[in-house]
Amino acid sequence: MSVTLGYQATATATATAEFRCVHCGHRARAEVTGVGEGVQSILNSGGTAHARARADARLDIGRTLARAKCPKCQLRDGCGVWRFFRSFVIIAVLMMSIGFVLGFAPTWFDLNMRPRDKALVAWLVPALIGGTLVLIMPFQIWFRWAGLDARVRWLAERDPAASM
């Protein structure tokens, strides 16, 4: 038997948005699809994860366009790209901090352990967490980055559908 403590949902949202290149000033309209994730715990009412995922997907339209490759000069906005990697950097720093705190806790709080064991824990716990990050993070980054350019569809300058 499995007990569900939380629930995760994903959603997509598509909208037309205006792109302006920070490098060459090129303007273009694009149909952008955002991908959102939402989680809820057992304390939330049903549908919370879906609602959060939909809201996140709408926000992701702007995030996606901010890191899109300019169709004219083929460059990306460095700020948009950094915002993409920032969350991964924050998670990595946070996890490593926790690793070091846990690793050195026996030393700091003078737990009843042999000095050799304390020294072992001090490097083993950060190494385990660091190793896990190294194994999981590149996959996560690749997974999120891979579909990026496919989710931005550049629209023609004078789209006849736009004037209707």
Return the number of other C-beta atoms located less than 10 Å from residue 68's C-beta.
Answer: 22
**Ranges within 34-73 binding Zn ion (CB under 5 A):** 70, 72-73
CB under 5 A: which stretch of 20-28, 34-42, 51-59, 137-145 binds Zn ion? 20-28
26 lies in the site for Zn ion, by CB under 5 A: yes
90 lies in the site for Zn ion, by CB under 5 A: no
- Rounded Cα distance, 140 and 60, in Å: 17
152 lies in the site for Zn ion, by CB under 5 A: no
Smallest Cα–Cα separation from 60: which of 34, 25, 85? 34
Least separation in angstroms between CB 72 and Zn ion: 5
x/- site string to Zn ion, residues 70 to 89, per CB under 5 A? x-xx----------------
Would you say the C-alpha torsion 87, 52, 140, 93 has a positive or negative sign? positive
- Rounded Cα distance, 119 and 5, in Å: 36
Contact footprint for Zn ion (CB under 5 A): 21, 23-24, 26, 70, 72-73
